[in-house]
Amino acid sequence: MSGTSRRRAVRPGEPEIPRVERSSDRVWRIRSLAVARQVLRARHATTQAGFTAEAIPKGYLRHHPILVSDGPLHDEQRSMVARFFAPKVVEERYAGMAAACADRLLGSAIAAGTCCLDDLALLYTVEVTAEVVGLTHAPASRMAPRLVSFFNQPPVDVTRPDFGRTRAMWAKAAVNALVPIGRFYLADVRPAIRTRRRQRRGDVISHLLDEGYTDADILVECVTYGTAGMVTTREFIVMCAWHLLQHRPLLERYRTAGQTERFAILNELIRLEPVVGHLYRRTSEPIEVTEGDQSWTIPPGDLVDVCIRPANADVAAVGDDPLDVCPGRPVTAGVNAAALSFGDGAHRCPGQPLALLETDLLLTRLLALNPRIAAEPTIGWDNLIEGYQLRGMMLTFDQVR
Ligand code: HEM
């Protein structure tokens, strides 16, 4: 075993330099963490251009979806949902149910003597997030495949005109998105709205109803939370387990540490292995960015591609050996321990405290069972969030049978 655990999700052909570049088709690629933060924090000079946001028709919605909304309305939306996601709130409200869910799922795995961790992690993250959002009508085992099916999309490249898709691919994309969304609406979202119209429950859907959101508005938010919250956390859990189970010193440290140190380990793992690989912004005003004695002006109308994997491994921000796991590493002032894995600025992920808490609750319980890896996961790449997908991680539980 080597002295340290190194980055596993290395995307073939992804360049690590230059730190800032502009291509002839007006696409900026940013790999410097400091410059990336300046772009993501240029609050009112950019709009969301990731997740095919620029292709989503918004005219039929009364409220812009949080992920693709910008400006003062977006600030207001964010401050309203913040109360569901503050660290103290998630700990008080959701830790008990998440722990019970983890115990139940692991109980079944122990009884079977084996489990596929990516399947278990999906059920777990769906059940926990569903509770926060209010999607509690159908069991997680039924809703999970409906959520995963959104991702079955033809390739997309948001840096190219028409996203690099032909008309036939757009037609396929529409069918592949609308059919699962229709199913999700009928089976999960509509029944949840009906119940909460009669009686509010203190979850995100109840809050959206109070704010006058229509069924269509709520559906779009549920798709966001479903994919942004559940699917990403699933990958993160599997990646953490993979690193920890193959690196005994790190595993021992995690097992014996208190919560603060365990969270430092999780933040370091997600810095190294960001689930979302690229963030995109369209500039609406010129943005001045600087690094050392260099400066650039990004003109309005250009697309900025923030390349998270190289930015999170930027020696200038996260110190030496950036591709190694080094929990508690000294980072430059102002840099988050997870670097840009949860974004930065106006769209920064509100779900980071929940993602860390639920991951920790599952991992502490799982690792206490001394699982063995029977099959390592294979790494695939998701086209929409440009992150890794880990599939087929089989664990056995010989020592507790
Ligand atoms: C490991 C797990 C997670 C990762 C890696 C992750 C990552 C991200 C990133 C990078 C963004 C920023 C997008 C941008 O700037 O364009 C984001 C936004 C968002 N995330 Fe997360 N996320 C995770 C978990 C969660 C959870 C558990 C929830 C909630 C249940 C959540 C809800 C959201 C929402 C609502 C947004 C949109 C915020 C906005 O645009 O204002 N995420 N997430």
User: pLDDT tens digits, residue range 195-234?
Assistant: 999 999 989 999 999 999 999 999 989 988 888 888 899 9
Among protein residues, the one whose CA lies closest to atom 30 of ligand 1: 229
Q: Would you say residue 180 has pLDDT above 90?
A: no
Among protein residues, the one whose CA lies closest to atom 20 of ligand 1: 349
User: Which runs of consecutive H residues, i.e. helices, occur in 313-384?
Assistant: 315-318, 352-367
At position 172, the amino acid (one-letter code) is: K
Q: Is 51 in the pocket of ligand 1 (CB under 6 A)?
A: no
Q: Which atom of ligand 1 is nearest to the CA of 346?
A: 41
Tokens of 47: 């709009």
First-last CA distance in the chain: 28
Where do the DSSP E strands lie in 31-156? 46-48, 114-116
Mean pLDDT of 81-107: 94
Per the listing, tokens 């800032």 go with 20
Element (H, E) at 294: strand 294-298
- Looking at residue 179, its pLDDT comes to 87
Q: Is 284 in the pocket of ligand 1 (CB under 6 A)?
A: no
Q: How far is the CA of 210 from the centre of ligand 1 (A)?
A: 23
Q: Is 3 buried (19+), middle (13-18) or exposed (0-12) by CB count in 10 A?
A: exposed
Q: What is the largest CA-CA distance in the chain?
A: 63
- Looking at residue 68, its pLDDT comes to 76
**Residue closest to 221 by CA, chosen among 19, 397, 84, 45:** 84
Where do the DSSP E strands lie in 316-397? 372-375, 378-381, 388-391, 394-396
Q: How far is the CA of 276 from the centre of ligand 1 (A)?
A: 9
- Is the torsion defined by CA of 326, 330, 332, 333 positive or negative? positive
Mean pLDDT of 360-371: 97
Tell me what percent of the residues of the chain surpass a pLDDT of 70.
96
Q: Is 67 in the pocket of ligand 1 (CB under 6 A)?
A: yes
**Residue closest to 261 by CA, chosen among 334, 337, 369, 324:** 337
Q: Is 342 in the pocket of ligand 1 (CB under 6 A)?
A: yes
Q: Is 279 in the pocket of ligand 1 (CB under 6 A)?
A: yes
Check if the beta carbon of residue 261 is closer than 8 Å to that of residue 327: yes
Q: Is 308 in the pocket of ligand 1 (CB under 6 A)?
A: no
**Residue closest to 54 by CA, chosen among 184, 205, 198, 156:** 156
The three-state secondary structure class of 114 is strand
Q: Is 226 in the pocket of ligand 1 (CB under 6 A)?
A: no
In angstroms, the CA 348 to CA 182 distance is 28
**Residue closest to 5 by CA, chosen among 265, 387, 276, 350:** 265
Mutating to test ligand 1, I would choose from 349, 357, 382, 386 the residue with most ligand atoms within 8 A of its C-beta, which is 349
Q: How far is the CA of 67 from the centre of ligand 1 (A)?
A: 8
The three-state secondary structure class of 339 is coil
Q: Would you say residue 375 has pLDDT above 90?
A: yes
Q: Which residues contact 282 (CB under 8 A, 6 or more apart)?
A: 46, 47, 48, 49, 54, 301, 302, 303, 304
pLDDT band at 2 (very low <50, low <70, confident <90, very high): low
Check if the beta carbon of residue 89 is closer than 8 Å to that of residue 83: yes
Q: Which residues contact 157 (CB under 8 A, 6 or more apart)?
A: 163, 164
pLDDT band at 186 (very low <50, low <70, confident <90, very high): very high
